[in-house]
Structure 1
Amino acid sequence: MTQGLLEHDTDGVPLALRTAWWATAWLRGAVVTDLLLDAVIGEDATHVVAGLDGLGLGGTPDAADTLVTGLGRLRAEGAASFGLALPAEGDPVGLGGPRPFNDAALEAGQAVVVAGAGVGLVPSRVGAAVTWRAYPAERRQLPDVGEADRELRSALPRTADALADLDVARWRPEVADELLNLRHRTPIQAPAGVPARCVELAARALQARAIVDLALADDGGAVAVHEIAARRAVLLPLARAARRGLVAAGSPEVWPS
Protein backbone atom coordinates (compact mmCIF):
# COMPACT_ATOMS: atom_id res chain seq x y z
CA MET A 1 0.00 0.00 0.00
CA THR A 2 2.91 2.34 0.62
CA GLN A 3 5.64 2.99 -1.90
CA GLY A 4 9.39 3.00 -1.73
CA LEU A 5 11.88 3.04 1.10
CA LEU A 6 11.91 6.85 0.94
CA GLU A 7 8.30 7.19 2.04
CA HIS A 8 8.87 6.71 5.76
CA ASP A 9 11.86 7.44 7.91
CA THR A 10 12.70 5.91 11.26
CA ASP A 11 9.95 7.72 13.17
CA GLY A 12 7.30 6.85 10.57
CA VAL A 13 6.87 10.42 9.32
CA PRO A 14 7.06 10.86 5.52
CA LEU A 15 10.07 12.93 4.50
CA ALA A 16 7.87 15.29 2.48
CA LEU A 17 5.64 16.00 5.50
CA ARG A 18 8.61 16.78 7.71
CA THR A 19 10.07 19.02 5.00
CA ALA A 20 6.77 20.83 4.37
CA TRP A 21 6.30 21.59 8.06
CA TRP A 22 9.82 22.73 8.84
CA ALA A 23 10.42 24.60 5.58
CA THR A 24 7.19 26.54 6.12
CA ALA A 25 8.22 27.36 9.70
CA TRP A 26 11.61 28.53 8.42
CA LEU A 27 9.99 30.58 5.66
CA ARG A 28 7.75 32.30 8.21
CA GLY A 29 10.58 32.98 10.64
CA ALA A 30 9.39 30.55 13.30
CA VAL A 31 12.59 28.45 13.28
CA VAL A 32 16.21 29.20 12.49
CA THR A 33 18.16 27.57 9.67
CA ASP A 34 20.02 25.11 11.92
CA LEU A 35 16.75 23.68 13.24
CA LEU A 36 15.44 23.37 9.69
CA LEU A 37 18.51 21.41 8.62
CA ASP A 38 18.46 19.18 11.69
CA ALA A 39 14.79 18.34 11.20
CA VAL A 40 14.86 17.71 7.45
CA ILE A 41 18.29 16.18 6.85
CA GLY A 42 18.44 14.25 10.11
CA GLU A 43 20.97 11.43 9.79
CA ASP A 44 21.31 11.79 6.01
CA ALA A 45 24.59 12.99 4.56
CA THR A 46 23.10 15.72 2.41
CA HIS A 47 19.97 17.08 0.71
CA VAL A 48 20.18 19.10 -2.50
CA VAL A 49 17.63 20.83 -4.73
CA ALA A 50 18.05 20.22 -8.47
CA GLY A 51 16.25 21.56 -11.51
CA LEU A 52 15.53 25.12 -10.41
CA ASP A 53 17.64 26.48 -13.26
CA GLY A 54 15.39 24.68 -15.72
CA LEU A 55 12.46 26.63 -14.32
CA GLY A 56 14.07 29.96 -15.20
CA LEU A 57 15.18 30.92 -11.70
CA GLY A 58 18.70 31.86 -12.74
CA GLY A 59 21.96 30.27 -11.65
CA THR A 60 24.34 27.85 -13.31
CA PRO A 61 22.71 25.36 -15.73
CA ASP A 62 22.54 21.76 -14.45
CA ALA A 63 23.83 22.77 -11.00
CA ALA A 64 22.27 21.50 -7.78
CA ASP A 65 21.79 23.82 -4.83
CA THR A 66 22.17 23.04 -1.18
CA LEU A 67 18.86 22.66 0.61
CA VAL A 68 19.04 26.12 2.19
CA THR A 69 20.13 27.81 -1.05
CA GLY A 70 17.34 26.10 -2.98
CA LEU A 71 14.71 27.05 -0.44
CA GLY A 72 16.08 30.59 -0.41
CA ARG A 73 15.69 30.84 -4.18
CA LEU A 74 12.10 29.67 -3.87
CA ARG A 75 11.49 32.26 -1.16
CA ALA A 76 12.81 34.95 -3.52
CA GLU A 77 10.34 33.72 -6.15
CA GLY A 78 7.40 34.34 -3.85
CA ALA A 79 7.04 31.06 -1.97
CA ALA A 80 4.25 31.43 0.62
CA SER A 81 4.37 27.95 2.13
CA PHE A 82 5.44 24.36 1.53
CA GLY A 83 2.74 21.70 1.44
CA LEU A 84 2.49 17.92 1.24
CA ALA A 85 1.33 15.71 -1.60
CA LEU A 86 0.95 12.00 -0.93
CA PRO A 87 -0.43 10.38 -4.09
CA ALA A 88 -1.21 6.74 -4.73
CA GLU A 89 -2.42 4.98 -7.86
CA GLY A 90 -5.92 6.24 -8.57
CA ASP A 91 -5.76 8.82 -5.78
CA PRO A 92 -3.54 11.83 -6.66
CA VAL A 93 -4.25 13.62 -3.38
CA GLY A 94 -2.31 16.86 -3.01
CA LEU A 95 -1.43 17.17 -6.70
CA GLY A 96 -2.72 19.66 -9.26
CA GLY A 97 -0.53 18.89 -12.27
CA PRO A 98 0.96 19.11 -14.76
CA ARG A 99 1.53 15.50 -15.71
CA PRO A 100 5.36 15.36 -15.47
CA PHE A 101 5.20 16.51 -11.85
CA ASN A 102 2.26 14.21 -11.05
CA ASP A 103 4.03 11.20 -12.58
CA ALA A 104 7.25 11.86 -10.68
CA ALA A 105 5.38 12.41 -7.40
CA LEU A 106 3.36 9.24 -7.89
CA GLU A 107 6.51 7.22 -8.52
CA ALA A 108 8.12 8.62 -5.36
CA GLY A 109 4.90 8.32 -3.34
CA GLN A 110 5.27 11.87 -2.03
CA ALA A 111 6.19 15.44 -2.95
CA VAL A 112 6.29 18.99 -1.64
CA VAL A 113 4.29 21.72 -3.40
CA VAL A 114 5.58 25.29 -3.04
CA ALA A 115 2.56 27.58 -2.90
CA GLY A 116 3.17 30.99 -4.44
CA ALA A 117 6.13 29.84 -6.54
CA GLY A 118 4.44 27.31 -8.82
CA VAL A 119 7.06 24.66 -8.06
CA GLY A 120 6.86 21.06 -6.92
CA LEU A 121 9.76 19.16 -5.32
CA VAL A 122 10.04 15.37 -5.63
CA PRO A 123 12.59 13.51 -3.49
CA SER A 124 14.80 10.61 -4.53
CA ARG A 125 17.42 8.85 -2.48
CA VAL A 126 20.81 7.37 -3.33
CA GLY A 127 22.35 5.98 -0.16
CA ALA A 128 22.43 8.75 2.44
CA ALA A 129 21.89 11.54 -0.10
CA VAL A 130 18.50 12.95 -1.08
CA THR A 131 17.88 15.02 -4.20
CA TRP A 132 14.76 17.17 -4.45
CA ARG A 133 13.97 17.54 -8.17
CA ALA A 134 12.05 20.70 -9.07
CA TYR A 135 9.10 20.67 -11.49
CA PRO A 136 6.53 23.23 -12.53
CA ALA A 137 3.46 22.68 -10.36
CA GLU A 138 -0.08 23.97 -10.81
CA ARG A 139 -2.56 25.09 -8.20
CA ARG A 140 -4.19 22.17 -6.40
CA GLN A 141 -7.40 21.31 -4.60
CA LEU A 142 -6.94 20.08 -1.06
CA PRO A 143 -9.05 18.28 1.53
CA ASP A 144 -10.33 20.48 4.34
CA VAL A 145 -8.73 19.75 7.71
CA GLY A 146 -12.08 19.22 9.43
CA GLU A 147 -13.42 17.06 6.62
CA ALA A 148 -10.25 14.93 6.53
CA ASP A 149 -10.35 14.55 10.32
CA ARG A 150 -13.97 13.39 10.30
CA GLU A 151 -13.31 10.96 7.44
CA LEU A 152 -10.39 9.39 9.27
CA ARG A 153 -12.24 9.18 12.61
CA SER A 154 -15.08 7.42 10.82
CA ALA A 155 -12.84 5.06 8.82
CA LEU A 156 -10.88 3.75 11.81
CA PRO A 157 -13.75 2.07 13.72
CA ARG A 158 -15.32 0.79 10.50
CA THR A 159 -12.02 -0.81 9.54
CA ALA A 160 -11.56 -2.24 13.03
CA ASP A 161 -15.00 -3.89 12.89
CA ALA A 162 -14.37 -5.25 9.41
CA LEU A 163 -10.96 -6.65 10.37
CA ALA A 164 -12.49 -8.28 13.44
CA ASP A 165 -14.99 -9.99 11.13
CA LEU A 166 -12.01 -11.25 9.12
CA ASP A 167 -10.44 -12.60 12.35
CA VAL A 168 -7.49 -10.23 12.34
CA ALA A 169 -6.26 -11.61 15.68
CA ARG A 170 -5.63 -14.98 14.05
CA TRP A 171 -3.58 -13.86 11.06
CA ARG A 172 -2.03 -10.66 12.36
CA PRO A 173 -2.21 -10.31 16.17
CA GLU A 174 -0.09 -7.15 16.20
CA VAL A 175 -2.76 -5.44 14.05
CA ALA A 176 -5.37 -6.39 16.63
CA ASP A 177 -3.14 -4.89 19.31
CA GLU A 178 -2.85 -1.62 17.36
CA LEU A 179 -6.62 -1.46 16.93
CA LEU A 180 -7.09 -1.88 20.67
CA ASN A 181 -4.77 1.08 21.31
CA LEU A 182 -6.24 3.69 18.98
CA ARG A 183 -6.26 6.27 21.78
CA HIS A 184 -2.52 5.88 22.35
CA ARG A 185 -0.66 7.58 19.52
CA THR A 186 3.06 8.28 19.25
CA PRO A 187 3.64 12.05 19.57
CA ILE A 188 5.07 13.84 16.53
CA GLN A 189 7.62 16.62 16.75
CA ALA A 190 6.31 19.64 14.86
CA PRO A 191 7.78 23.14 14.56
CA ALA A 192 6.19 26.28 15.91
CA GLY A 193 3.29 27.47 13.80
CA VAL A 194 1.76 24.08 12.93
CA PRO A 195 -1.75 24.11 14.44
CA ALA A 196 -2.20 21.60 17.27
CA ARG A 197 -5.23 20.18 15.46
CA CYS A 198 -3.04 19.40 12.44
CA VAL A 199 -0.36 17.76 14.56
CA GLU A 200 -3.02 15.55 16.15
CA LEU A 201 -4.54 14.73 12.76
CA ALA A 202 -1.14 13.77 11.38
CA ALA A 203 -0.49 11.49 14.37
CA ARG A 204 -3.85 9.77 13.89
CA ALA A 205 -3.22 9.38 10.16
CA LEU A 206 0.23 7.88 10.74
CA GLN A 207 -1.30 5.43 13.19
CA ALA A 208 -3.83 4.41 10.53
CA ARG A 209 -1.08 3.96 7.94
CA ALA A 210 0.84 1.77 10.38
CA ILE A 211 -2.22 -0.44 10.75
CA VAL A 212 -2.56 -0.71 6.97
CA ASP A 213 1.14 -1.52 6.53
CA LEU A 214 1.04 -4.18 9.25
CA ALA A 215 -2.09 -5.77 7.86
CA LEU A 216 -0.62 -5.94 4.36
CA ALA A 217 2.94 -6.84 5.35
CA ASP A 218 2.36 -10.34 4.05
CA ASP A 219 -0.58 -12.42 2.90
CA GLY A 220 0.62 -15.58 4.61
CA GLY A 221 -2.32 -15.60 7.00
CA ALA A 222 -4.90 -15.63 4.24
CA VAL A 223 -5.62 -19.14 3.07
CA ALA A 224 -7.49 -18.21 -0.09
CA VAL A 225 -7.38 -15.57 -2.78
CA HIS A 226 -10.78 -14.26 -1.77
CA GLU A 227 -9.51 -13.64 1.78
CA ILE A 228 -6.59 -11.59 0.45
CA ALA A 229 -8.98 -9.56 -1.70
CA ALA A 230 -11.34 -9.06 1.24
CA ARG A 231 -8.50 -7.83 3.43
CA ARG A 232 -7.36 -5.31 0.84
CA ALA A 233 -10.91 -4.11 0.21
CA VAL A 234 -11.31 -3.41 3.93
CA LEU A 235 -8.02 -1.51 4.16
CA LEU A 236 -8.26 0.66 1.04
CA PRO A 237 -10.70 3.22 2.53
CA LEU A 238 -8.51 3.57 5.64
CA ALA A 239 -5.37 4.05 3.55
CA ARG A 240 -7.14 6.74 1.51
CA ALA A 241 -8.44 8.50 4.62
CA ALA A 242 -4.96 8.43 6.16
CA ARG A 243 -3.38 9.98 3.05
CA ARG A 244 -6.02 12.71 2.96
CA GLY A 245 -5.50 13.39 6.66
CA LEU A 246 -1.76 13.73 6.23
CA VAL A 247 -2.10 15.99 3.18
CA ALA A 248 -4.52 18.30 4.99
CA ALA A 249 -2.30 18.36 8.09
CA GLY A 250 0.77 19.02 5.96
CA SER A 251 -0.64 21.77 3.71
CA PRO A 252 -0.62 25.28 5.18
CA GLU A 253 -3.02 26.46 2.47
CA VAL A 254 -5.89 24.80 4.36
CA TRP A 255 -4.75 25.19 7.97
CA PRO A 256 -7.35 26.71 10.30
CA SER A 257 -6.73 30.33 11.21
Structure 2
Amino acid sequence: MSPSPASPAATLPHAARLAWWLTAWLRGHEQTDHVLDVLADDTHLLAGGSALDLLARSRATGATHAGVALPVDGDLLGLGGPRDFNAAALEAGQAVVVGDLGLVPEEQGETVQWRVFAAARRQLPDVGEADRSLRQTLLSTAGDLADLDVARWRPEAADALMNLHHRPELDAPLGTPPRCLELAARGLQAWAIVDLALADDGGALSSYEIERRRGLLQPLGRAARGAVVAACSAEVWPEH
Protein backbone atom coordinates (compact mmCIF):
# COMPACT_ATOMS: atom_id res chain seq x y z
CA MET A 1 0.00 0.00 0.00
CA SER A 2 1.39 3.40 -0.97
CA PRO A 3 1.48 6.13 1.68
CA SER A 4 -0.98 8.98 1.43
CA PRO A 5 0.84 12.16 0.41
CA ALA A 6 -0.90 14.30 3.01
CA SER A 7 -3.99 14.58 5.14
CA PRO A 8 -6.11 17.17 6.96
CA ALA A 9 -3.92 16.50 10.01
CA ALA A 10 -1.40 18.79 8.22
CA THR A 11 1.67 16.61 8.63
CA LEU A 12 4.55 16.56 6.19
CA PRO A 13 4.46 13.78 3.60
CA HIS A 14 7.15 11.13 4.12
CA ALA A 15 9.10 12.42 1.10
CA ALA A 16 9.13 16.04 2.27
CA ARG A 17 10.37 15.05 5.71
CA LEU A 18 13.08 12.82 4.26
CA ALA A 19 14.19 15.54 1.82
CA TRP A 20 14.62 18.02 4.68
CA TRP A 21 16.69 15.66 6.80
CA LEU A 22 18.78 14.36 3.91
CA THR A 23 19.65 17.94 2.97
CA ALA A 24 20.65 18.77 6.53
CA TRP A 25 22.83 15.67 6.70
CA LEU A 26 24.44 16.11 3.27
CA ARG A 27 25.32 19.70 4.18
CA GLY A 28 26.75 18.77 7.56
CA HIS A 29 24.11 20.56 9.64
CA GLU A 30 22.95 17.35 11.34
CA GLN A 31 24.98 14.42 12.65
CA THR A 32 24.43 10.90 11.34
CA ASP A 33 23.21 9.48 14.65
CA HIS A 34 20.58 12.18 15.04
CA VAL A 35 19.31 11.74 11.49
CA LEU A 36 19.11 7.97 11.96
CA ASP A 37 17.10 8.53 15.15
CA VAL A 38 14.68 10.78 13.25
CA LEU A 39 14.33 8.27 10.42
CA ALA A 40 13.80 5.49 12.96
CA ASP A 41 10.75 7.36 14.27
CA ASP A 42 9.15 6.90 10.84
CA THR A 43 11.01 3.58 10.23
CA HIS A 44 12.51 4.72 6.92
CA LEU A 45 14.54 2.03 5.17
CA LEU A 46 16.12 1.59 1.77
CA ALA A 47 14.31 -1.26 0.03
CA GLY A 48 16.35 -4.36 0.86
CA GLY A 49 18.57 -2.41 3.25
CA SER A 50 18.68 -0.11 6.27
CA ALA A 51 18.29 3.58 7.05
CA LEU A 52 22.10 3.88 7.02
CA ASP A 53 22.10 2.36 3.53
CA LEU A 54 19.60 5.03 2.54
CA LEU A 55 21.98 7.77 3.70
CA ALA A 56 24.98 6.13 2.05
CA ARG A 57 23.18 5.75 -1.27
CA SER A 58 22.23 9.42 -1.15
CA ARG A 59 25.80 10.50 -0.34
CA ALA A 60 27.12 8.42 -3.23
CA THR A 61 25.26 10.65 -5.71
CA GLY A 62 27.61 13.52 -4.86
CA ALA A 63 24.62 15.78 -4.25
CA THR A 64 24.59 18.41 -1.50
CA HIS A 65 20.82 18.54 -1.14
CA ALA A 66 17.59 16.63 -1.65
CA GLY A 67 14.15 17.74 -2.78
CA VAL A 68 10.58 16.53 -2.90
CA ALA A 69 8.08 15.87 -5.68
CA LEU A 70 4.32 15.83 -5.06
CA PRO A 71 2.68 14.81 -8.36
CA VAL A 72 -0.98 14.23 -9.10
CA ASP A 73 -2.74 13.23 -12.30
CA GLY A 74 -2.24 15.99 -14.84
CA ASP A 75 0.45 17.77 -12.81
CA LEU A 76 3.81 16.03 -12.33
CA LEU A 77 4.98 18.66 -9.85
CA GLY A 78 8.65 18.20 -8.97
CA LEU A 79 9.39 15.46 -11.51
CA GLY A 80 11.70 15.55 -14.51
CA GLY A 81 11.64 11.90 -15.58
CA PRO A 82 12.41 9.32 -16.68
CA ARG A 83 9.04 7.67 -17.29
CA ASP A 84 9.33 4.77 -14.83
CA PHE A 85 10.29 7.09 -11.99
CA ASN A 86 7.46 9.48 -12.85
CA ALA A 87 4.96 6.61 -12.93
CA ALA A 88 6.06 5.23 -9.54
CA ALA A 89 6.09 8.70 -7.97
CA LEU A 90 2.65 9.49 -9.36
CA GLU A 91 1.24 6.26 -7.95
CA ALA A 92 2.68 7.07 -4.52
CA GLY A 93 1.82 10.77 -4.75
CA GLN A 94 5.31 11.71 -3.62
CA ALA A 95 9.02 11.11 -4.13
CA VAL A 96 12.47 12.38 -3.17
CA VAL A 97 15.06 13.54 -5.70
CA VAL A 98 18.71 13.55 -4.60
CA GLY A 99 21.22 14.05 -7.37
CA ASP A 100 20.47 11.55 -10.12
CA LEU A 101 18.59 9.32 -7.68
CA GLY A 102 14.82 9.10 -7.26
CA LEU A 103 13.36 7.58 -4.09
CA VAL A 104 9.72 6.50 -3.94
CA PRO A 105 8.10 5.45 -0.63
CA GLU A 106 6.02 2.37 -0.10
CA GLU A 107 4.49 1.39 3.23
CA GLN A 108 5.22 -2.20 4.21
CA GLY A 109 3.72 -2.97 7.57
CA GLU A 110 5.11 -0.42 10.00
CA THR A 111 8.05 0.58 7.80
CA VAL A 112 8.45 2.97 4.89
CA GLN A 113 10.54 1.27 2.21
CA TRP A 114 12.20 3.53 -0.37
CA ARG A 115 12.50 2.14 -3.89
CA VAL A 116 15.37 3.48 -5.98
CA PHE A 117 15.08 4.87 -9.52
CA ALA A 118 17.16 6.99 -11.84
CA ALA A 119 16.02 10.62 -11.78
CA ALA A 120 16.52 13.40 -14.31
CA ARG A 121 16.88 17.14 -13.75
CA ARG A 122 13.68 19.00 -12.94
CA GLN A 123 12.43 22.57 -12.93
CA LEU A 124 10.78 24.05 -9.87
CA PRO A 125 9.27 27.37 -8.83
CA ASP A 126 11.53 29.17 -6.40
CA VAL A 127 10.49 29.90 -2.84
CA GLY A 128 9.41 33.46 -3.58
CA GLU A 129 7.27 32.42 -6.54
CA ALA A 130 5.65 29.58 -4.58
CA ASP A 131 4.98 31.93 -1.65
CA ARG A 132 3.31 34.56 -3.85
CA SER A 133 1.24 31.93 -5.65
CA LEU A 134 -0.03 30.47 -2.38
CA ARG A 135 -0.97 33.86 -0.92
CA GLN A 136 -2.77 35.03 -4.05
CA THR A 137 -4.58 31.74 -4.63
CA LEU A 138 -5.66 31.45 -1.01
CA LEU A 139 -7.18 34.94 -1.10
CA SER A 140 -9.06 34.36 -4.32
CA THR A 141 -10.24 30.89 -3.28
CA ALA A 142 -11.49 32.16 0.09
CA GLY A 143 -13.68 34.71 -1.68
CA ASP A 144 -14.99 32.15 -4.15
CA LEU A 145 -15.80 29.67 -1.38
CA ALA A 146 -17.61 32.36 0.57
CA ASP A 147 -19.75 32.99 -2.51
CA LEU A 148 -20.56 29.27 -2.55
CA ASP A 149 -21.49 29.40 1.16
CA VAL A 150 -18.72 27.05 2.33
CA ALA A 151 -19.88 27.46 5.95
CA ARG A 152 -23.12 25.70 5.07
CA TRP A 153 -21.77 22.61 3.31
CA ARG A 154 -18.38 22.24 4.99
CA PRO A 155 -18.12 24.21 8.26
CA GLU A 156 -14.73 22.63 9.09
CA ALA A 157 -13.23 24.18 5.95
CA ALA A 158 -14.79 27.54 6.78
CA ASP A 159 -13.31 27.37 10.28
CA ALA A 160 -9.88 26.57 8.83
CA LEU A 161 -10.12 29.57 6.49
CA MET A 162 -10.93 31.77 9.48
CA ASN A 163 -7.94 30.50 11.45
CA LEU A 164 -5.06 30.88 9.02
CA HIS A 165 -2.78 32.19 11.75
CA HIS A 166 -2.96 28.85 13.58
CA ARG A 167 -0.46 26.89 11.52
CA PRO A 168 0.88 23.39 12.14
CA GLU A 169 4.15 23.16 14.07
CA LEU A 170 6.81 21.30 12.10
CA ASP A 171 10.03 19.74 13.33
CA ALA A 172 12.67 20.92 10.86
CA PRO A 173 16.38 20.02 10.96
CA LEU A 174 19.17 22.52 11.49
CA GLY A 175 19.97 24.58 8.42
CA THR A 176 16.36 24.82 7.20
CA PRO A 177 15.65 28.50 6.38
CA PRO A 178 12.93 29.93 8.64
CA ARG A 179 11.13 31.23 5.56
CA CYS A 180 10.92 27.68 4.19
CA LEU A 181 9.68 26.30 7.48
CA GLU A 182 6.92 28.91 7.52
CA LEU A 183 6.04 28.30 3.86
CA ALA A 184 5.80 24.54 4.42
CA ALA A 185 3.41 25.10 7.32
CA ARG A 186 1.20 27.43 5.27
CA GLY A 187 1.25 25.00 2.34
CA LEU A 188 0.12 22.14 4.57
CA GLN A 189 -2.57 24.36 6.05
CA ALA A 190 -3.97 25.21 2.61
CA TRP A 191 -3.75 21.56 1.57
CA ALA A 192 -5.80 20.60 4.61
CA ILE A 193 -8.47 23.15 3.66
CA VAL A 194 -8.75 21.58 0.21
CA ASP A 195 -8.99 18.09 1.73
CA LEU A 196 -11.72 19.24 4.13
CA ALA A 197 -13.71 20.99 1.41
CA LEU A 198 -13.56 17.97 -0.89
CA ALA A 199 -14.15 15.32 1.77
CA ASP A 200 -17.63 14.72 0.29
CA ASP A 201 -20.17 16.57 -1.79
CA GLY A 202 -21.43 18.43 1.24
CA GLY A 203 -24.43 20.61 0.52
CA ALA A 204 -23.99 20.69 -3.24
CA LEU A 205 -27.35 20.87 -4.97
CA SER A 206 -26.32 19.87 -8.46
CA SER A 207 -23.53 18.25 -10.45
CA TYR A 208 -22.73 21.70 -11.82
CA GLU A 209 -22.17 23.05 -8.31
CA ILE A 210 -20.01 20.04 -7.42
CA GLU A 211 -17.82 20.58 -10.48
CA ARG A 212 -17.66 24.31 -9.85
CA ARG A 213 -16.47 23.69 -6.30
CA ARG A 214 -13.78 21.28 -7.46
CA GLY A 215 -12.71 23.70 -10.16
CA LEU A 216 -12.32 26.48 -7.60
CA LEU A 217 -10.29 24.31 -5.24
CA GLN A 218 -7.93 22.79 -7.81
CA PRO A 219 -5.71 25.92 -8.06
CA LEU A 220 -5.41 26.08 -4.27
CA GLY A 221 -4.40 22.42 -4.16
CA ARG A 222 -1.68 23.04 -6.73
CA ALA A 223 -0.46 26.17 -4.94
CA ALA A 224 -0.37 24.29 -1.64
CA ARG A 225 1.64 21.43 -3.12
CA GLY A 226 3.92 23.92 -4.86
CA ALA A 227 4.59 25.64 -1.56
CA VAL A 228 5.57 22.38 0.15
CA VAL A 229 7.74 21.33 -2.80
CA ALA A 230 9.64 24.63 -2.83
CA ALA A 231 9.95 24.72 0.96
CA CYS A 232 11.37 21.18 1.05
CA SER A 233 13.62 21.33 -2.06
CA ALA A 234 16.92 22.97 -1.23
CA GLU A 235 17.89 23.65 -4.84
CA VAL A 236 15.40 26.55 -4.89
CA TRP A 237 16.05 27.86 -1.39
CA PRO A 238 17.18 31.49 -1.06
CA GLU A 239 20.92 31.81 -0.53
CA HIS A 240 20.52 34.09 2.44
Structure-2-length-normalised TM-score: 0.94
1:157-236 equivalent positions in 2, closer than 5 A = 157-236=139-218
| Structure 1 residue 4 displacement after superposition | 5.8
Give CA deviations for 1:137-187 in whole Å, capped at 9, x if unaligned. Answer: 001101111001000000111111000000000011111111111122122
State the AA in 1 paired with 2:168: T
Give CA deviations for 1:14-41 in whole Å, capped at 9, x if unaligned. Answer: 1111000011111222112232233334
| Structure 1 residue 68 displacement after superposition | 1.4
Q: Secondary structure at the match of 1:135?
A: strand
Counterpart selection for 1:92 from 57, 60, 76 = 76
Q: Is residue 2:75 matched to residue 1:78?
A: no
In the alignment, what sits opposite 1:58? none
In the alignment, what sits opposite 2:236? 254
State the AA in 1 paired with 2:96: V
Taking the aligned partners of 1:166 and 1:5, their CA distance within structure 2 comes to 32
The answer to whether the 8 Å contact 2:10/2:192 transfers is no
What is the aligned residue count? 238
State the AA in 2 paired with 1:134: V
| Structure 1 residue 80 displacement after superposition | 1.9
The answer to whether the 8 Å contact 1:198/1:255 transfers is yes
The answer to whether the 8 Å contact 1:145/1:245 transfers is yes
In the alignment, what sits opposite 2:36? 37
Taking the aligned partners of 2:61 and 2:168, their CA distance within structure 1 comes to 37
In the alignment, what sits opposite 1:113? 97
State the AA in 2 paired with 1:36: V
- Equivalent pairs: percent with the same residue? 60
The answer to whether the 8 Å contact 1:6/1:125 transfers is no
Q: Is residue 2:108 matched to residue 1:126?
A: yes
1:12-91 equivalent positions in 2, closer than 5 A = 12-42=11-41, 44=42, 46-50=43-47, 64-91=48-75
In the alignment, what sits opposite 1:7? 5
Per mean C-alpha deviation after superposition, the further-off stretch among 140-149 and 67-76 is: 67-76
The answer to whether the 8 Å contact 1:124/1:131 transfers is yes
State the AA in 1 paired with 2:98: V
Q: Secondary structure at the match of 1:206?
A: helix
Taking the aligned partners of 1:75 and 1:16, their CA distance within structure 2 comes to 17
Query: Unaligned 5+ residue runs, structure 1?
Result: 51-63
Taking the aligned partners of 2:149 and 2:6, their CA distance within structure 1 comes to 28
Per mean C-alpha deviation after superposition, the further-off stretch among 185-194 and 159-168 is: 185-194
Taking the aligned partners of 2:6 and 2:144, their CA distance within structure 1 comes to 26
The answer to whether the 8 Å contact 2:73/2:90 transfers is yes
State the AA in 1 paired with 2:35: L
Taking the aligned partners of 2:123 and 2:89, their CA distance within structure 1 comes to 16
The answer to whether the 8 Å contact 1:20/1:83 transfers is yes
| Structure 1 residue 11 displacement after superposition | 5.5
Taking the aligned partners of 2:59 and 2:236, their CA distance within structure 1 comes to 20
Taking the aligned partners of 1:254 and 1:88, their CA distance within structure 2 comes to 21
Give CA deviations for 1:191-220 in whole Å, capped at 9, x if unaligned. Answer: 111111111110110000000000011113
Taking the aligned partners of 1:29 and 1:11, their CA distance within structure 2 comes to 28
State the AA in 2 paired with 1:137: A
Q: Secondary structure at the match of 2:120?
A: coil
Q: Secondary structure at the match of 1:194?
A: coil
Question: Cα RMSD over matched residues?
Answer: 1.7
Query: Unaligned 5+ residue runs, structure 2?
Result: none
